[in-house]
Chains A and B, each alone.
Chain A
Amino acid sequence: MGAELRPDDMEVEEEGVSDSQAFRFVEHVLQSVRMDPVLVDLKDKDQYDSLLKIVDSSKKRSFDDEALLVPTLKALSEAVSKIDITYHHELLSNIFTMTLWYMQRDTRDALLELITRLAAVADQFLRECLQMLVNNFTPPGPLTAFIGQPRWHARKKEIYSQLHESLRVISDTIPLAPRMLKDIIDRSMPKLFDNKAKTISFVECILGLDNDRMGDLIGSLLLAKVVDLLTELDVNITWEDILQEEHHKGIFDMELEDLDDDEDSLGQEGTKALFGGNACAEKLDGLMVVFCEHLKACSEHGRLLKEFDILKTIFRTSVLTVHKSKFAQFIVFYACSLDPEICGIEFSLFLTDIFIKKEEDLLSRMSAVSYVGSYLSRARFISADTVVAVLKRLVDWCVDYCDLQNNKGIITKPINHQIFYASCQAVMYILCFRLRSIMDYPNLKSQLFNMPFGYILTHPLEPLKVCLPVIVDEFLRQAKAARLFNASMSSAFEDALESDLSRTFGGIDRLDMFFPFDPYLLKESDRYIRPNFEFWSRVKTTYSNYNSDCDDELADIDAPEMNVGSLDDHVEIDLNSDDDLEYSINKMSITPHHSFFHQTMMNSGTGLTMPAKIRPSVSPPS
C-alpha cells in the first residue's frame, strides 16, 4: 500500500477498488505519521498532507471533491483508534471546524458518523465533538441571510434531525455526555445582539432537541435557557419606545381604539409602528412564534403536561419576578390555552398558592397576585367557576389579613401593606372583567354575593383609596350595577376616590401597577395569543346590559356618579400638571418601569417633556 494519496488514487469506487482497501490505506497514512514529526518519512508526510486537503473545512467543495470526501470520512471513522490528538492535530481541527450546511446528505451522514465515533472514543474528543455539533445548530454566517427562504426550509429540518440523531447516538454510548452538552449549549446560547436568523435557528434546534429523547435528560435546562433568552430580549424592549407612540391609554381603554380600527389591521399596523426598527422586539417576536409552535407540537403529541410542569418551574424562577417583562410570560398563557382544563386551572392554582404561602418572599407573592388578577381577567378559556374559586381564596386571605390588622390595632402607612392592596386590586380587577359573566350563573352569583367585600373595602386600611383609581372606579360602577353591596355600604364608597394615597403606595417598584397579561403587541406571534385573549372592549359589563335586559334594578346606572363617561373622566389627562403625567403613564398599566422612567426624565435635567402624541382617550361605546 505504498501508493500516493492523490485524488485519482482515492477515487476508489470508480476503479472498482473495494472500500476496505481504501480504509486500510487511510489507516496506514494515519499510522505512518503517528510519531515525532522529525521522524516522519517525507513520502508519508505528503500523503498525510493530501489527506488534509481532502478533509478541508475552509474550501468550497465541488461535486468531485465531495465525492472524494465521503469515502475518506468513512475510512476515518473506521480508523478512529489510530487518530491521535497530538500527531493528527491538524486533521482533527479540520474535522471539527467543518460545517454541515453546505454538504450533500451523504456527506453529512458520513461526517456525523465520524463525529459520533470520535465522541465514543472519548478521552479527549467528546467535548470537541459536542461543540462541533452545537456549532452546527446555526447556519454559517453568510447563509443566515437566506435561511428564511422556503428552499432552505426542508434542508434545515433535515440537518436538524440529523444533528439530533447524532446527539442521541452519542448519549447512548456515553450516558454522561448530556451533562457536558448542557455546559456547551449554555455557553453557545445566542447573545442578545446576535442576529435574528441565528438566534431563531438556534432556538428552533434546541427546542427540537427537547422533543427528542434528549428532552428527558436535559429538557428542563433547554427550556430554561430559551425562556431566559426570551426574558432578556423582553426587558431590553424599553417602554420609552412605546411611550413615544400612541399607546397612552388607560388600563381599560387601552384597547378601545382597537375596536374602532379594523380588527385585523390593528395587530399588524399598530405594532409595526410601535416596534419598527426595534431589533429586540423583532427577535422576540420570531422566538415567540418558534416557542408557540413547539408547545403546539407538544400538545399534539401529548407531551404538553410534562412540558407545562417544567415551564411552570421556570416561570417561577425566571419570569415571575421580572416586572419589566411584557411578553415573555405569554408562553405560559399560550400553554394554558392549549389545555385549559388542566394547565389553565393548574396555573391559576399555582399562582394563588405562591401568593398565599407565607414562606414565599414578598416580591414573589405580590407578583403572583398581580399575575392571578391579570390572568383570570384576560384568559378567555378559564371558566367562571374557576374564577369564583380563586376569588374566594383571595377574599378569604384578605379577610384574614384585615382581622389580623384589627387585632394589632395600629394602622400604618400603605407601603407596609402592599400585599394587601395588591390582592384587593387583583380582586377588583378580576371582577371588572368577570362580574357580568359570573352573574349569569345563579349558584356562582350567590357564592360571590356571600363574599364579604364590604368588610374588606371599608376596612380602616382603606383599599379603595390606595388602589389604582381607574380600577376602583370601574369596579364600583359595576358592583353597584350588579348590586354587589347593599345600599348603606354603597354610600360609604362614594368619596373613596378623592385621595392621593394611591400615588404614595408602591414606591419605586410600583407593584400596584403590574398587569402582566396586558394586550400583546408583537406582530407575528399575536395570532397565537389573540384568539384566547379577552380584550376590554369585548367585555360585557354589568351596566351595559341595561338596554338589552331592561332591568329595573339597574336603573340607578343613570345616577349622576355613574354616567357612562365616568371611566373616562379619570382617564382625561390634564396636560399642565406634572403629577398627572405620572398618573397618565401609570395608567399604561404595565408598569414598574414608569416611575423609573419618570425619574430619569427628571434627573436628566431636561425637565418634563411630554410624549409627543399624548391625548385624551376615546369614550367607550355605550
Chain B
Amino acid sequence: MQALREAEAELTVYVHPSNAADVRRAVARQLSTTLFSYEDRFDGVLLAHEVIVDGGQAKILNGLVPFFGVLVHANLLLYSPQPDMILEGKVELLGKESIHAIVLGVFSAAIMSDDINERFKFKRRGDRGKFISRSDKHHVIRKGSMIRFSVKRVDTEMNCHITGSLIPPHTGSMHWLSIHDAEYTSEINSHIRRSGNIRIKIEQNEQDHRTLDNEDGVISSERPHKSRKRALEE
C-alpha cells in the first residue's frame, strides 16, 4: 500500500542515567512512546522500529539533569498518507451520509456523502444499508467490505485521520475492482512495492522534552519547530 514507507534514521536518543543499566531497552522504550502517534519529524506515524546502537559511546549532556545522548541507527516503518494516494481499508460503519473505514486495522478514514454520491447510491435496508454503484449494480459496498479510496485530506493532529474520496478512478470495492478494473488487476499481479528512503536526523529525549527545554537551551534550539497542523488540501 502506498502510505507505508520504510525509513532509516540516525537518531540521538537521550537516556536518563537511571536507565543506564539497560541502554538498549531504554532506547527502545523511548522510541515506543512515539508509536501510533503522528510525529512531525518522521512526517508520519511510527508503526515499528528496529534499533541498532552505534558503538558504546554516548555524550553526556550538560545541565542539571545529566542525560546522555546515545547515537542510534534505526530502521523505521512509517505510515504517512499524502493526498491523492490510494489506500485500502475495511468498512466499519456505513450510513447515507458517510462511509467509515479502517486502514491497517488502526487508522480511521471517513468518506463523506459528497465524495460518494457521484458514483454510488445509498440503499437503506432496515437498520443497515449499502452503497450500490450507479454504473454497475454488482458493484456494492457494505459493512465489512474492503475498499480502495483516494486520500483527499489528512489531519495529522488526529493521528492521520483521513478524509477520503470514492470519486477518482480505480476506487471502490476491492472485490469488484479485482475483477473489473484492469489497472488494479495488473497492480496486484506485479506486486509493485514502493518504498522511500529518507535519512532524518532527529533528537529524542528519554524524558520529557519540556523539562529539558527549560533547563537547557541546547536541545530546544536544535529541535525543529514546525506547526503540527498539516491539513493538506487537494
Contacts and interface: CB of A to CB of B under 8 A. Distances in A.
B158 A123 contact: yes
Contact of B158 (A126, A173, A359): A126
Nearest to A80: B97
B79 to A, nearest CB: 11
Given A121-B112, A122-B108, A179-B36, A173 B100 contact: yes
Interface in B76-106: 92-93, 95-98, 100, 102, 105-106
B107 interface: yes
Nearest to A123: B155
Interface in B97-152: 97-98, 100, 102, 105-108, 110, 112-114
B205 interface: no
Q: Give the residue among A80, A81, A117 with the most B Cβ atoms within 10 A.
A: A81
B95 A78 contact: yes
B161 interface: yes
A81 B92 contact: no
B112 A176 contact: no
B97 A78 contact: yes
A79 interface: yes
A80 B98 contact: yes
Given A122-B108, A122-B161, A179-B37, A172 B92 contact: yes
Nearest to B161: A122
Contact of B108 (A79, A117, A169, A175): A175
B173 interface: no
A175 B36 CA distance: 11
Contacts of A120: 93, 98, 100, 108, 110
Given A122-B110, A175-B107, A176-B106, A117 B97 contact: yes
Contact of B106 (A79, A122, A123, A175): A175
Given A120-B110, A123-B155, A173 B96 contact: no
Interface residues of A, number: 18
Interface string B25-66: 000000000001100000000000000000000000000000
Given A172-B93, A173-B102, A81 B155 contact: no
A173 B92 contact: yes
B220 interface: no
A175 B102 contact: yes
A492 interface: no
B163 interface: yes
A123 B163 contact: yes
B156 to A, nearest CB: 11
B124 to A, nearest CB: 9
A81 B114 contact: yes
A90 B105 CA distance: 35
Nearest to A27: B97
B159 interface: yes
Contact of A81 (B37, B97, B107): B97
A575 interface: no
B98 to A, nearest CB: 6
A78 B107 CA distance: 23
Contacts of A126: 158, 161
A174 interface: yes
Contacts of B95: 78, 117
Interface in A350-380: 359
Contact of B112 (A81, A172, A173, A179): A81
Interface string A438-474: 0000000000000000000000000000000000000
B105 A81 contact: no
A180 B160 CA distance: 14
Contacts of B37: 179
Contacts of A122: 108, 110, 155, 158, 161
Nearest to B21: A359
A120 B113 CA distance: 13
Nearest to B103: A175
Contacts of A169: 93
Contacts of A121: 98, 110, 112
A140 to B, nearest CB: 29
Interface in A101-136: 117, 120-123, 126
Contacts of B107: 175-176
Nearest to B96: A78
Q: Give the residue among A172, A175, A179 with the most B Cβ atoms within 10 A.
A: A175
A175 B96 CA distance: 22
Nearest to B112: A81
Nearest to B116: A81
Interface in A255-292: none
Q: Give the residue among B21, B102, B112, B158 with the most A Cβ atoms within 10 A.
A: B158
Nearest to A177: B108
Contacts of A172: 92-93
A411 B161 CA distance: 66
A466 B163 CA distance: 70
Contacts of A174: 108, 161
A175 B102 CA distance: 8
B108 A176 contact: yes
Given A78-B95, A79-B97, A117-B95, A123 B102 contact: no
Interface string A376-402: 000000000000000000000000000
Interface string A295-330: 000000000000000000000000000000000000
A79 B106 CA distance: 26
B179 to A, nearest CB: 28
Contact of A173 (B21, B93, B105, B106): B93
A173 B102 CA distance: 7
Contacts of A179: 36-37, 159
A174 B96 CA distance: 19
Contacts of A79: 97
Contacts of B110: 120-122
B92 A176 contact: no
B109 to A, nearest CB: 9
Given A81-B112, A81-B113, A81-B114, A176 B159 contact: yes
Interface in A176-211: 176, 179
A174 B103 CA distance: 10
Contacts of B36: 176, 179
Nearest to A359: B21
A118 to B, nearest CB: 11
Nearest to B157: A123
Q: Give the residue among A126, A173, A174, A179 with the most B Cβ atoms within 10 A.
A: A174
Contact of A123 (B96, B100, B105, B161): B161
Nearest to B160: A176
Given A122-B155, A173-B92, 6 more contacts: A126-B161, A173-B100, A173-B108, A174-B161, A175-B105, A175-B107
10 tightest Cβ-Cβ pairs between the two chains A and B: A81-B112, A174-B108, A122-B161, A173-B100, A173-B93, A176-B159, A120-B100, A175-B106, A81-B97, A173-B92
19 contacts: A79-B97, A80-B97, A80-B98, A81-B97, A81-B112, A81-B113, A81-B114, A117-B97, A117-B98, A120-B98, A122-B158, A123-B155, A123-B161, A123-B163, A172-B92, A173-B108, A175-B108, A176-B107, A179-B37
